[in-house]
């Protein structure tokens, strides 16, 4: 499959490289050529006229629970811990693998409408999410979700080996567990040992709420970051989801261990969890990425909302309108997200990289006039501006149509049926 | 012109009325019939199959400066007062009436993509914005923008009489001025006298930044609310734009005078102005509406972003995930906005009301499954869900196409030309 995208503005997201006009040539899922002086005379399977619109790397949703689509707008307006224990866990207990397959497909559709080309997905029964991702052609990195209520370290090791075996696969896997407050010490030590064996980072929900931090201090005398670090979990780095409530010693550990933090600002607002110190992390040089969190808490899977919040909230909290400029936000959403997921060839648009890219519709009133496209995207962009989403060289979404070969109605009907069965 | 919209879910926004399946019949800009048992046998000029999607009243953008589209992404990341005096005012001084005509058209396009059917517009040279609104068929209420740098009370009275003369017009006018900090006492007293003459409310930017409040206290010994009230400006009510920094006495005055408050959460974040006490206002029974503010500060004109922020920020600031439930937000955006603008027949969908309405696309992944459509709109909605926008019985936007009879490209080209001329 050879594809050419021409007549484009291109933002490669390489450090220091401005937007230029040019074209991309793609073969078998990878970018063969990107620049202003294309090789001509080739035969193309597909030629796409970008019409002057912007091509840039797709967004990476660096923290989500895709199959939770069935809980969207079901149990809103509750505190996180009650919400989790009284509503979410009992409903989730009724999910079958087949349910997860359909609900993950629904989430993937929404990712595509938001220009998201890869998701870092933490959920149970991964074989079924895997099938949903493979059938739709979507890139998914699984995050281990071990906790006291399910899973074993042996299973995690098998998944780790299985999903990371084929570097050409759309799927990959990172060691992880749910959270300090749902996982006993012995299990965390076993996870640390597994991470040590593969010299791998450990990914985990961390310091999302004040209560979580306070209860950990009561139990262990330490913050979640310090406690988990004391168990050796971050010897080879890690990824913290949320990271809202941190003290000075936490920042030191995160910096020293090379840990990345994924912020989920909409979910943190909606559950009244707090506002993560994004500017502080960035000032310290800590790699930052952005996630939507699951659709039960957010309730949508919209990278544009998250991007505006990632900067807007910092401006008001830090009383500094210059806090977290637009390019930093785009880098978090498109580049560092890939790093947090271990996707080394999905970062920027360069020859040899994966063709995971999006076309931003500049022929919309919210993108006009064009003073600064990057700022327009972060401060004015919306899902309506996603004209095309391509994963691994295949166009999965274009001009509002889903092109992965299954009708949206089938997916909607299955999601409604599952929600009805479980929630009544 | 007789139009029928059938096969719809309908949310009239009348107090206590749930969503039902039915149809609307519209003639000459007004709803003739709305319900489940339509009159049949009529001849229609236009029949619209809603396909099971939701029809609801359009959103009212209760505070904006439409023609500021030319400044989008031009001068971001600055403090409000420097931004205003160093960037905005000098650039605005170069605007001609023809510029304002084109720039307002660009804003109207964006309003339509966001389901906004009316805007409360504060800007200079209103005759030109008026032409833009009339040519596109968009409803616009002008707000007086008097201040020390431009305008007279006589002109304002003439505009007040001219734009309010014809109750069938798309245009109307409310007495207002820029702000306490840009308007001298004598001028404010004259405005108060004019408002007294017509028993009319006065609309004004108020307590947007801490600095504004502090400087007013230094100058007058009072907060802006108390000072303006002491001049008799709110004898017949008023509308305060922003209302971020209020003390207890301010709340009392606002409540007692029957003043409405328009919150502009995205602009307040982006300019680091603060977070308005929306929950407090609502708890006090103060009428609340939502505005985008101008595209120079926001930078976009997106009611979905504002709706999520209007609740999300309150949840985290009040440490209360139950703060400002979704229905309250929808009411602010669709109903109370009309009241703040004096549009008594654009509030809810009832027989006799104006046909200012939108169709929300429920056949999108972010609206599925359908547990609660109101929550889906507020917590998950985006511009992508606006399938149709109708103003005064005319479809102005549908399935991504602008139907007001002018090509988007012409408007984009003019906006780019103006921005280039003024900003270089």
pLDDT in tens, B61-93: 999 999 999 999 887 767 767 877 888 889 999
Residues whose CB is less than 8 angstroms from the CB of residue B224 and which lie 6 or more positions away in sequence, other chains included: B179, B180, B181, B206, B207, B212, B213, B216
Report residue B49: phi and psi, to 5°. -85, 115
CA–CA gap between residue B189 and residue B418 (Å, rounded): 37
Q: Are residues B332 and B246 in the same domain?
A: yes
Q: Are residues B13 and B70 in the same domain?
A: no
Q: Which of B375, B342, B28 is nearest to B199 (CA)?
A: B342
Q: Identify the three-state secondary structure at position B141.
A: strand
The answer to whether position A156 is within a domain reads yes
Q: Identify the three-state secondary structure at position A121.
A: strand
The answer to whether position A261 is within a domain reads yes
Contact A383/B at CB under 8 A: yes
User: Using 50, 70 and 90 to split pLDDT, how confident is the model at B371?
Assistant: confident
Distance in Å, alpha carbon of B108 to nearest chain A alpha carbon: 9
CA–CA gap between residue A218 and residue B167 (Å, rounded): 67
The answer to whether position A382 is within a domain reads yes
For residue range A336-358, list pLDDT tens digits in order.
999 999 999 999 999 999 999 99
The answer to whether position B348 is within a domain reads no
User: Using 50, 70 and 90 to split pLDDT, how confident is the model at B198?
Assistant: very high
Do β-strands B238-242 and A401-402 pair in parallel, antiparallel, or remain unpaired? unpaired
Map tokens 């519709």 to a residue. Answer: A361
Beta bridge partners of residue A388, listed in sequence order: A359, A398
The answer to whether position B163 is within a domain reads yes
Number of domains in chain A: 2
Contact B267/A at CB under 8 A: no
For residue range A60-102, list pLDDT tens digits in order.
999 999 999 999 988 776 677 787 788 888 999 999 999 999 9
Residues of chain A contacting residue B80, judged by C-beta atoms under 8 Å apart: 321
Q: Identify the three-state secondary structure at position A390.
A: strand
Q: Are B329 and B374 in contact (CB under 8 A)?
A: no
CA–CA gap between residue A379 and residue A315 (Å, rounded): 13
CA–CA gap between residue A143 and residue A160 (Å, rounded): 9
* Terminal C-alpha separation, chain B: 46
Q: Are residues B24 and B157 in the same domain?
A: no
Q: Are residues A271 and A178 in the same domain?
A: yes
Q: Identify the three-state secondary structure at position B232.
A: coil
CA–CA gap between residue B309 and residue B244 (Å, rounded): 14
- The pTM of this model reads 0.97
Q: Are residues B45 and B91 in the same domain?
A: no
User: How far is C-alpha B184 from the geometric centre of its chain's CA atoms?
Assistant: 27
CA–CA gap between residue A388 and residue A357 (Å, rounded): 8
Q: Which residue of B has its CA nearest to A374?
A: B73
User: Using 50, 70 and 90 to split pLDDT, how confident is the model at B175?
Assistant: very high
Residues of chain B contacting residue A304, judged by C-beta atoms under 8 Å apart: 382
* Mean pLDDT across chain B: 96
pLDDT of residue B83: 77
Size of interface A-B (CB pairs under 8 A): 213
Residues of chain B contacting residue A319, judged by C-beta atoms under 8 Å apart: 272
Residues of chain B contacting residue A269, judged by C-beta atoms under 8 Å apart: 312-313, 315-316
Q: Are residues A125 and A174 in the same domain?
A: yes
The complex's ipTM?
Answer: 0.97
Of the candidates B77, B372, B384, the beta carbon closest to that of A322 is on B77
CA distances from B155 to A375, B146, B175 (A): 38, 9, 11
Q: Which residue of A has its CA nearest to B325?
A: A77
Residue A367 lies in domain:
2-57+355-402
Report residue A49: phi and psi, to 5°. -85, 115
Distance in Å, alpha carbon of B13 to nearest chain A alpha carbon: 19
**Phi-psi region for residue A217, left (φ > 0), alpha (ψ -120 to 50) or beta?**
alpha
The answer to whether position B346 is within a domain reads no
CA-based torsion, B323, B327, B330, B335: positive or negative: negative
Query: Which domain CATH number covers B109?
Result: 3.20.20.140
The answer to whether position A278 is within a domain reads yes
> Do A315 and B419 count as a contact with CB atoms less than 8 A apart?
no
CA–CA gap between residue A250 and residue A283 (Å, rounded): 15
Check residue A150 and report its DSSP letter: B
Query: Which domain CATH number covers B48?
Result: 2.30.40.10
* Burial bucket for residue A49 (CB in 10 Å: 0-12, 13-18, 19+): exposed
pLDDT of residue A13: 98
> Do A365 and B110 count as a contact with CB atoms less than 8 A apart?
yes
Map tokens 């005064």 to a residue. Answer: B392
Q: Are residues A145 and A282 in the same domain?
A: yes
């Amino acid at each position: 499959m050879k594809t050419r995208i021409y007549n484009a503005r291109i933002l490669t997201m390489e450090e220091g490289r401005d937007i230029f006009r040019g074209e991309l040539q793609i073969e078998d899922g990878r970018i063969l050529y990107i620049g202003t002086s294309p090789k001509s005379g080739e035969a193309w399977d597909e030629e796409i006229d970008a019409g002057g619109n912007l091509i840039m790397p797709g967004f990476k949703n660096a923290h989500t629970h895709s199959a939770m689509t069935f809980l969207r707008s079901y149990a809103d307006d509750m505190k996180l811990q009650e919400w989790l224990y009284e509503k979410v866990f009992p409903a989730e207990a009724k999910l079958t693998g087949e349910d997860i397959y359909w609900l993950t497909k629904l989430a993937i559709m929404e990712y595509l409408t938001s220009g998201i080309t890869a998701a870092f997905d933490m959920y149970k029964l991964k074989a079924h999410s895997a099938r949903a991702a493979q059938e739709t052609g979507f890139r998914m990195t699984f995050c281990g979700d071990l906790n006291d209520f399910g899973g074993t370290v042996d299973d995690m090791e098998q998944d780790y080996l299985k999903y990371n075996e084929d570097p050409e696969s759309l799927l990959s896997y990172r060691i992880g567990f749910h959270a300090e407050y749902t996982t006993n010490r012995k299990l965390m030590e076993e996870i640390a040992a597994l991470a040590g064996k593969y010299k791998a980072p450990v990914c985990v929900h961390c310091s999302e709420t004040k209560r979580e931090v306070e209860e950990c201090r009561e139990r262990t005398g330490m913050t979640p970051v310090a406690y988990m670090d004391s168990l050796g979990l971050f010897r080879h780095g890690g990824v913290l989801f949320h990271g809202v409530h941190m003290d000075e010693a936490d920042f030191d550990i995160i910096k020293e261990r090379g840990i990345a933090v994924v912020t989920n600002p909409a979910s943190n607002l909606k559950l009244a969890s707090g506002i993560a110190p994004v500017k502080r992390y960035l000032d310290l040089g800590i790699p930052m990425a952005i996630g939507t969190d699951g659709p039960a808490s957010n309730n949508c899977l919209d990278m544009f909302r998250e991007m505006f919040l990632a900067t807007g909230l910092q401006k008001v909290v830090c009383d500094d309108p210059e806090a977290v400029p637009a390019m930093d936000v785009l880098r978090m959403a498109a580049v560092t997200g890939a790093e947090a997921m271990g996707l080394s060839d999905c970062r920027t648009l360069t020859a040899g990289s994966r063709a995971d890219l999006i076309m931003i519709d500049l022929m919309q009133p919210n993108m006009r006039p064009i003073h600064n496209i990057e700022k327009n995207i972060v401060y004015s962009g919306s899902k309506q501006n996603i004209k095309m989403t391509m994963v691994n060289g295949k166009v999965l979404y274009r001009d509002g149509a889903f092109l992965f070969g299954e009708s949206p109605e089938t997916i909607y009907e299955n999601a409604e049926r599952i929600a009805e069965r479980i929630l009544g």
